[in-house]
């Protein structure tokens, strides 16, 4: 690691000059680094957004529960009062309240429109329950509700929350995995480009060995060049990627996941880590390729 | 300087050199002759560790080449100047940069005046900025000689250095090698040009070695 960094930092311009400056590998390396970093910016945005989403879904649903009361209209008020009475005497419940007709209308408006005559429909009454930090005994509460209000059903959101949180966590994992795959692909592409450059400069390597150049010196000329090209390409890719993410629609609560696909606050600094990372990937990929090739020349 | 003890070299298709014993003493001048394919180039490559012997020992500056790591080989070559018939340069660099390449790769800062003097000495003073592809065969050989000696090596190995040159240019190169030998350099020249060897004997006290039947022997009065 230290010798690799020395190669990058201490190479002199004379050492750089011994390798011919032109060739298709120059733009290939820069283009590869730019394209891969551009994709990595989006993978990073995806990973961060899915992480935020998982946290939001978990937090939003973790401390709440809903009780659905299905009863004939003439018993609805009586059962609702009974449910609230049970909840008021249940340890672990911070607050409980029945949703108003207006609130229920709002909940249903995405499906039935804003003018739904809630009072004319046999809809169940919903009671929103907020638990305190200690939490409540859900099984005990179900038993008590069954006894006091037979039409009441407790939904603690577990069956909704778990798959949503799992899906978000998987998306987060996929985002991280994508970044790793992108880094591996970039390393492979740069290795191929470095191999091509080393093969094209076989005569240069033979001459340098003949006049007494050590492997570190010869490798440095290639490593430094490929690393700097990769960093330059990655800077371009990261810049374009950040512009692309910035141009996505702004975060909108109703828009859901896609409009949240971006960076927030200090998160905008994270893509700037990618160019140095691309440089490290290029440095080690080129160094490995160079020493492998040099071992073929006595 | 360089010693061969019972050295053999096998290319895989048979033995090319066998039981080669040779001592290059400091300040000596040797010619190595023999027909094409006899193994002259192979012997020179063994002498600067581009090849390793399949049997026996090659010792360079007191070190067995088999014990040298890659970096040791590089350091050893800084003390050996090599001139090939098909000399290779870095075509994108001007002649002056090519000649001073051994200094560059050693991390040494050459004196521009010394470089200029060296180019003058080999008759290339006006071509310092020329690119290698634009040089003639004779100019390339003299540039190779300049590159070989810029580090002040102890030994100079030349493989058919006059192979592409006319007689006048061959004599000029020979004179340069003789001058270097008078400065104390150890020189080994592989050539099949017997006229060149005869001409050289008038200038330096050279021993002539011949490769025959895979073995090396001292050439007799027929030269």
Q: Which residue range(s) make up the domain with B169?
A: 2-91+152-218
Q: Is B78 in Cβ contact with A212 (below 8 Å)?
A: yes
| Degrees, nearest 5: CA angle A231-A233-A239 | 100
Q: For chain A, give the percent of residues with pLDDT over 90.
A: 17
**Residue B131 falls within a domain, yes or no?**
no
Of A200, A76, A92, which Cα lies nearest the Cα of A139? A92
Task: Give the closest residue to A226 by CA, choosing from A251, A243, A201.
Answer: A201
- Asked whether residue B47 is assigned to any structural domain, the reply reads yes
| Helix ranges (DSSP H) in chain B | 40-47, 70-77, 95-99, 101-105, 112-121, 137-149, 167-182, 194-201
Comparing B94 with A15, which gets the higher pLDDT?
Answer: B94
For residues B166 and B196, is the Cβ–Cβ distance under 8 A? no
pLDDT category of residue A34 using cuts at 50, 70 and 90: very high
**Residue B49 within any structural domain of the chain:** yes
- Answer whether B102 sits within 8 Å of A217, measured CB to CB: no
Q: Report A:94-133 residues touching B (Cβ under 8 A).
A: none
Question: CB contact, 8 Å: B72 with chain A?
Answer: no
Q: A14 — contact with chain B (CB < 8 Å)?
A: yes
Residue B133 lies in a domain: no
pTM of the model: 0.70
The answer to whether residue B71 sits within a structural domain is: yes
B108 touches chain A (CB under 8 A): no
| Contact present, A127 and A83 (Cβ < 8 Å) | yes
The CATH number for B177's domain is: 3.40.50.300
Task: Assess contact for A47 and A175: CB atoms under 8 A.
Answer: yes
How far is it, in rounded angstroms, from Cα A257 to Cα B49?
A: 66
* pLDDT given for residue A272 in this prediction: 92
A132: helix, coil or strand?
coil
Is B175 among the domain residues?
A: yes
Residues 151 through 170 of chain A touching chain B, CB cutoff 8 Å: none
Q: Sorting pLDDT into bands at 50, 70 and 90, what band is A6?
A: low
* C-beta neighbour count of A163 within 10 angstroms: 9
Whether chain B has a CB inside 8 Å of the CB on A298: the answer is: yes
pLDDT bucket at B220, cuts 50 / 70 / 90: low
Q: What is the per-residue pLDDT across B169-189, written as a single tens digit (0 to 9) for each?
A: 888 888 888 988 999 999 999
Q: What is the mean pLDDT of residues B101-125?
A: 88
Interface of B with A in 75-104 (CB under 8 A): 75-78, 82, 88-93, 97, 101-102, 104
pLDDT of residue A252: 60
Question: Are the C-beta atoms of residues B26 and B184 closer than 8 Å to each other?
Answer: yes
Residues B74, A203: C-beta atoms closer than 8 Å: no
Q: A18–B101: do the CB atoms touch at under 8 Å? A: yes
Inter-chain residue contact B74 with A215, CB threshold 8 Å: yes
Q: How many domains is chain B partitioned into structurally?
A: 1
Q: Report the alpha-carbon distance of residue B173 to residue B161 in Å, rounded.
A: 8
Token pair belonging to A188? 């492979």
pLDDT at B56 over 90: yes
Nearest to B89 among A207, A294, A295 (CB): A207
| Token pair for A121 | 């429909």
User: What pLDDT sits at residue B109?
Assistant: 81
Inter-residue contact A171 to A163 (CB < 8 Å): no
Sign of the C-alpha dihedral computed for residues B73, B75, B77 and B80 taken in this order: negative
State the Cα–Cα distance between residues A227 and A190, nearest whole angstrom.
9
pLDDT band at residue A105, thresholds of 50, 70 and 90? Answer: confident
Domain assignment present for B102? no
Provide the token pair at B117. Answer: 């003097």
Largest Cα–Cα separation, chain A? 103
Verify whether the Cβ–Cβ distance B105 to A207 is below 8 Å. Answer: no
pLDDT tens per residue, range B20-51: 999 999 999 999 998 888 889 999 999 999 99
Which of chain A's residues have a Cβ under 8 Å away from the Cβ of B93?
A: 17-18
């Amino acid at each position: 690691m230290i010798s690799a960094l020395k190669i990058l930092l201490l190479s002199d311009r004379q050492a750089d000059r011994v390798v011919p400056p032109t060739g298709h590998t120059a733009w290939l390396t820069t283009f590869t680094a730019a394209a891969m970093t551009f994709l990595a910016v989006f993978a990073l945005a995806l990973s961060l957004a899915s992480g935020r989403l998982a946290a939001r879904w978990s937090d939003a649903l973790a401390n709440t529960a809903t009780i659905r009361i299905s009863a004939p209209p003439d018993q609805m008020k009586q059962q609702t009062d009974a449910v609230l009475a049970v909840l008021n005497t249940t340890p672990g419940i911070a607050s409980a309240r029945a949703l108003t007709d207006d609130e229920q209308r709002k909940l249903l408006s995405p499906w039935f429109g804003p003018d739904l005559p809630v009072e004319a429909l046999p809809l169940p009454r919903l009671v929103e329950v907020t638990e305190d930090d200690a939490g409540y005994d859900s099984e005990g509460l179900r038993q008590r509700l069954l006894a006091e209000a037979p039409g009441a059903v407790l939904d603690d959101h577990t069956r909704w929350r778990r798959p949503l949180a799992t899906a978000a966590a998987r998306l987060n994992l996929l985002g991280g995995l994508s970044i790793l795959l992108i880094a591996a692909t970039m390393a492979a592409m740069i290795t191929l480009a470095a191999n091509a450059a080393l093969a094209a400069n076989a005569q240069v390597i033979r001459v340098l060995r003949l006049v007494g150049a050590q492997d570190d010196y010869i490798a440095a000329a290639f490593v430094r060049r490929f690393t700097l090209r990769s960093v330059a390409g990655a800077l371009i890719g990261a810049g374009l990627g950040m512009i692309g993410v910035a141009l996505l629609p702004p975060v909108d609560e109703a828009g859901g996941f896609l409009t949240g696909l971006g960076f927030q606050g200090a998160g905008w600094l994270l893509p700037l880590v990618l160019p140095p990372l691309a440089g490290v990937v290029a440095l080690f990929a080129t160094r490995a390729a160079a020493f492998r090739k040099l071992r073929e020349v006595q | 300087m360089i010693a061969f003890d019972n050295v053999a070299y096998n290319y895989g298709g048979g033995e090319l050199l066998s039981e080669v014993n040779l001592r290059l003493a400091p300040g000596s001048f040797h010619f190595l002759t023999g027909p094409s394919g006899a193994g002259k180039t192979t012997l020179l490559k063994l002498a600067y560790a581009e090849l390793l012997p399949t049997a026996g020992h090659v010792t360079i500056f007191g070190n067995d080449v088999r014990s040298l790591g890659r970096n040791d080989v590089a350091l050893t070559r800084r003390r050996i100047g090599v001139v090939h018939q098909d000399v290779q340069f870095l075509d994108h660099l001007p002649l002056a940069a090519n000649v001073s390449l051994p200094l560059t790769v050693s991390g040494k800062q050459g004196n521009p005046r010394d470089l200029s003097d060296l180019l003058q000495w080999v008759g290339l003073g006006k071509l310092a900025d020329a690119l290698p592809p634009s040089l003639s065969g004779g100019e390339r050989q003299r540039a190779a000689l300049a590159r070989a000696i810029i580090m002040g090596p102890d030994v100079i190995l030349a493989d058919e250095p006059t192979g592409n040159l006319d007689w006048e240019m061959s004599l000029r190169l020979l004179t340069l090698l003789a001058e270097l030998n008078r400065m104390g350099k150890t020189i080994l020249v592989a050539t099949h040009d017997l006229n060149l060897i005869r001409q050289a004997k008038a200038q330096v006290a050279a021993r002539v070695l011949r490769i025959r039947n895979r073995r090396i022997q001292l050439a007799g009065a027929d030269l």
